[in-house]
Amino acid sequence: MGFFSRFFSKPVSTTLTVTSGNGFHLRPVAQFVNLAKNFSCEITAICNHKTVNAKTVNTLLSLGLEKEDSFELQAQGKDAKEAVEKLEALFTELMQDDKEVEVLQKEDAVYEGKSIEGEIISRGVAIAAAYRYRERENRTENGVNFSEALADSFEELDTLYRTHAQNEDAGIYLAQKELLQAIADQVDSLEALEETIGEESARLVGSKMEVKITDYKDILQRVKKQMGFSVEMLLPETPFILLAKDLLPSQIELLQKTQVEGVVLKETTLTSHTAILLRGAGIPSLIADYSDVKEKEKIILDAHCGLIVTMPSEQDLQKAQKRQADDLEQQHIAADRRFEKALTRGKKQIRVFANVTDVHSAQTAKEQGAEGIGLLRTEFLFKEEKPSLEAQTEAYEAIFSLFDDVTVRTLDVGGDKKLPYLTLPKEENPFLGIRGVRLFKTHPQLMEEQLHAIFAAAKGRPLKVMFPMVSTVDEFTEAKIFAERTAEKHKLDIASIRFGIMVEVPSVLFLIPDFNRVVDFYSIGTNDLTQYLFAIERTHPSLKVDEHSPVVFDAIRTVIVQADKPVSICGELAGDPEAIGTLLKIGMETLSVSPKSIATTKEEIRHV
């Protein structure tokens, strides 16, 4: 790009507001930067009169953006407009997906031994000897130079990111890669890398970003490993509870291969990458000051109550062992019975389906005991580039082959869900504008291609297709006619396909008798229904909705009572243990939940 076109073209800008309670932290920043680097234009972020390069992790993080903070994203150059549009869409998605880490409530318990209170990272109970962290560094001459080690480290992080793509921890590896990239451009030796990381870490001490220090240490360790340096954790071969100031994210996988029973960390946070990986590994863990715990002393780590118990009495040990056994039994019962029907105490069968986002999650749902797919979110195919008809058909075929009962939701974008290649008008209230079923009018070609792929993949097998954000009977009727004409145009048999609606717009609650005449089924989407009932946008930075409000359950009851077609629920409320009992009592018979919640949801039903 020439000098004049870069510096004299009109800048394109937008204002973005952080809505995640975690702030704009390392993982989402890394994804943001990773996309920003694909554009040739200059991209900056401006906040409180400070302007930084939005293409590097460290500079963007230096703004220290917390919840409710806003910043101006500005791009200047040939592809500036496209850059801002795509980055704004990604930012919105990142904020929506970045769930705030829940502070786990502590259960009440009384122990006779001395108790040390801590913060719960991951629930569970461990009983074993306390062991303080020790390590030993080894060196093997392997002839790998610094530049080769950097390249190998980038490749390793890339591989880890792709391998864990479907898991919560995937963003950790992308974040570390971007962090390493930001430093690698400034150094030309291992010594320089160590010095720079030391300086960066020192600057973070006492700041909101102090948790990032472990990631700096981790990337240094990765580079050193490629050059023959290795850090060996010196751990016992008998069961132990590990006491450490902190651990590196890369050490959690190694820890899982040892006799570790539990972990206590002194210097970390609930949102650290180490904490995320400990939760994922299911290792009972606390954040606590363990200074008074003696080496090799038998202790109880009760991560239900948030306690370390030293010098436990025989009664304490019995109590902890019983809770440990109960936890294990519940896990085994839920896992062992995940393929069984979910029957209430009154022997009424409740069907448990899965909400899936792609082929991998559908396979996981199958393994976890799902009886079908209650919600296939087809948005997974519509990412940075529009998928071809062939790609859509192939993905749908793979998912449809796993279950006999599948409900597909047509493309649901708009509001807080944007696509970089989908041009939608700028709206003051996008949640009340063009989204869901309204795309049939604004983007008919896109919707025809999707329906073509769905019908082709079905190959005549029974299938349910539902339209999102329907507010009137006419909207449903027009969408169904559109679908029938698509099938006729492409000579596809849809005799076995049923059509229904997502119940998420309040107007539908007053029109159920009319909808009964045209729809084949209903699926209640409580996430959107709740936000529209209370007129509070679900991504709002400060206003929150009570998802357990009687109003929400009354709305659901209205649908169940008036509908004469099958009704299911696929919103987050369906998998909420506190809501399941009420949902069943008002007549709900089909719940669709996340794959990982299937076994526990079935077990919860068995106690209602």
390 exposed, middle or buried (CB, 10 Å; 0-12, 13-18, 19+)? Answer: exposed
Gap between the Cα atoms of 29 and 61, Å rounded: 7
Start-to-end CA distance of the chain, whole Å, equals: 66
Give which of 338, 383, 386, 391 is closest to 364, Cα–Cα: 338
Gap between the Cα atoms of 467 and 409, Å rounded: 6
Which tokens sit at 245?
Answer: 């100031």
Gap between the Cα atoms of 201 and 172, Å rounded: 18
**CA 116 from centroid of its chain's CA atoms:** 32
Gap between the Cα atoms of 27 and 171, Å rounded: 5
Gap between the Cα atoms of 521 and 497, Å rounded: 12
Q: How many other C-beta atoms can be found within 10 angstroms of the C-beta atom of residue 493? A: 11
CB of 380 within 8 A of CB of 358? yes
Q: At a CB cut-off of 8 Å and minimum separation 6, what does 314 contact? A: none
Beta-bridge partner residues of 501 = 467, 522
Q: At a CB cut-off of 8 Å and minimum separation 6, what does 441 contact? A: none
Give which of 526, 423, 406, 542 is closest to 461, Cα–Cα: 406
**CA 152 from centroid of its chain's CA atoms:** 28
Give which of 608, 506, 602, 502 is closest to 554, Cα–Cα: 506
Give which of 78, 21, 68, 25 is closest to 47, Cα–Cα: 68
Gap between the Cα atoms of 99 and 25, Å rounded: 12
Residue 273 annotated to the active site: no
205 exposed, middle or buried (CB, 10 Å; 0-12, 13-18, 19+)? Answer: exposed
Gap between the Cα atoms of 24 and 61, Å rounded: 8
Q: What is the DSSP letter of 461?
A: -
For tokens 């009760």, what's the residue?
Answer: 302
Give which of 44, 46, 84 is closest to 63, Cα–Cα: 46
Gap between the Cα atoms of 78 and 2, Å rounded: 10
User: CA angle at residue 480 from 384 to 419, to 5 degrees?
Assistant: 15
Pick the catalytic residue: 25, 273, 304, 452? 25
Gap between the Cα atoms of 298 and 133, Å rounded: 16
Catalytic residues: 25
